[in-house]
């Protein structure tokens, strides 16, 4: 009797359908096409407000702030730049027949350093926190520190984006605001949510890269914020650009899991730029001399994942 041969399949980490990264198999077959579902896209001037939940240093806040500032600084940065990465989202607006740009500006910032809801949060509480800093027509960024556990964090996602009505709105059509949550994975699950700056738990074990701003957790957060933001502007209310079911869609960044540079493959982020002094890897230059590693985005013009590396 022939013996059974067990085949071990290494599972790699891919991005959560809502823009983050989850633990699912990396299987790419036919080319992806993200369909437009005739909904609202975010364009024009887009205010981003912050809800900092827990303990963040001034340096950590400045790293994330500089990334967002960099989105608009066209022709003011070395190439490749954060702004050239962000320009890929214009292709979605053109594809939808609404040519234009999405210019991010920083709105109000709320510090919740005393953990008003505790250090263990349900996802419904993320929306509650986001509402504290909500701006009509804007996006609220809820960022949780490394000592805060969030429902599903590490087990299924590194972040999410969604939307909610603005409570207390009077008169006319009720306004909604979009919100994003990203957690600092430095101590909880860097192998899932801070890769490639940390050794992955499963799959090919290539050496981790040096984080461009010297903070594995926050540089990992930038990757996930970038992913979520791209997903938010191109699919803010669940009827924009995506593929698959609306409850579990592939979006602009999650359609290109684990790709940061050319020639990327599972376990290898791609051909990246390397700082000759620090050894840090990056693919985009930003404001105030900062460098960042940003995920590839699906390009509606070429129907392929586009990188800056």
Query: Is the pLDDT reported for residue 18 higher than 50?
Result: no
Q: What is the pLDDT of residue 30?
A: 63
Whether the CB-CB separation of 112 and 52 falls below 8 Å is answered with yes
Q: Rounded to the nearest 10 degrees, what angle do helices 58-70 and 216-234 cross at?
A: 40
Regarding predicted confidence, which is higher, 204 or 35? 35
pLDDT of amino acid 200: 82
Residue 240 phi, psi (nearest 5)? -100, -125
What's the pTM value of the predicted model, to 2 decimals? Answer: 0.88
**Nearest partner of 278 among 211, 222, 194, judged by Cα:** 211
pLDDT of 7 above 70: no
Please state the φ and ψ torsions of residue 79, each to the nearest 5 degrees. Answer: -95, 140
pLDDT digits 0-9 by tens, 280-302:
999 999 999 999 999 999 999 99
Asked if 207 and 281 touch (Cβ cutoff 8 Å), the reply is no
> Would you state the pLDDT for residue 176?
83
> Strands (DSSP E) along 37-175, which ranges?
44-53, 102-112, 120-121, 139-144, 149-150, 159-165
Query: Residue 168 — very low, low, confident or very high, per pLDDT cuts 50/70/90?
Result: low
- Give pLDDT tens digits for 198-238: 988 777 778 899 999 999 999 999 999 999 999 999 999 99
pLDDT band at 197 (very low <50, low <70, confident <90, very high): very high
Question: 135 pLDDT exceeds 80?
Answer: yes
Q: What is the pLDDT of residues 251-273, one digit of tens each?
A: 999 999 999 999 999 889 999 99
**Residues 31-51: what's their mean pLDDT?**
93
- pLDDT confidence of residue 166: 78
User: For 67-78, what is the mean pLDDT?
Assistant: 84
The CA distance from 271 to 171, in Å, is 53
φ, ψ (nearest 5 deg) of residue 262: -65, 150
Query: Which pLDDT belongs to residue 171?
Result: 52
Instruction: Tell me how crowded residue 76 is: count the other CB atoms within 10 A of its CB.
Output: 11
More reliable by pLDDT, 86 or 156: 86
- Please tell me the least confidently modeled range out of 70-79, 93-102, 183-192, 230-239: 70-79
- For residue 8, what pLDDT is reported? 29
Q: Is the pLDDT assigned to residue 112 strictly greater than 80?
A: yes
Q: Indicate if the pLDDT at residue 13 is higher than 50.
A: no
């Amino acid at each position: 009797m022939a013996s059974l041969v067990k085949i071990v399949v290494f599972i790699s980490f891919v991005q959560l359908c809502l823009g983050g990264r989850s633990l699912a198999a990396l299987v790419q077959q036919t080319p992806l096409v993200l369909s437009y579902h005739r909904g609202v896209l975010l364009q024009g001037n887009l205010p981003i407000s912050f809800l900092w939940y827990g303990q963040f240093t001034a340096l950590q806040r400045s790293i994330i702030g500089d990334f967002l500032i960099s989105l608009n600084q066209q022709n003011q940065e070395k190439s490749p730049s954060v702004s050239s990465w962000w320009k890929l989202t214009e292709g979605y607006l053109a594809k939808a027949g609404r040519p234009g740009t999405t210019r991010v500006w920083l709105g109000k910032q709320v510090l919740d350093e005393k953990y008003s809801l505790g250090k263990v949060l349900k996802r419904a509480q993320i929306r509650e926190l986001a509402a504290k800093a909500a701006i009509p027509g804007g996006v609220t960024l809820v960022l949780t520190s490394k000592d805060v556990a969030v429902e599903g964090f590490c087990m299924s996602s590194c972040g999410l984006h969604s939307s909610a009505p603005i409570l207390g709105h009077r008169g006319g059509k009720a306004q909604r605001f979009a919100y994003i949550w990203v957690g600092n994975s430095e101590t909880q699950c860097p192998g899932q949510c801070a890769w490639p700056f940390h050794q992955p738990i499963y799959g090919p074990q290539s050496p981790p890269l040096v984080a461009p701003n010297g903070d594995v957790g926050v540089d990992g957060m930038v990757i996930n914020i970038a992913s979520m933001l791209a997903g938010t502007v191109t699919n803010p209310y669940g009827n924009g650009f995506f593929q698959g079911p609306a409850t579990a869609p592939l979006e602009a960044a999650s359609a290109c899991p684990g790709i940061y540079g050319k020639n990327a493959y599972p376990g290898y982020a791609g051909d990246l730029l390397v700082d000759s002094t620090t050894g840090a890897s990056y693919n985009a230059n930003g404001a105030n001399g900062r460098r960042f590693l940003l995920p590839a985005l699906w390009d509606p013009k070429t129907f392929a994942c586009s990188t800056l590396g």
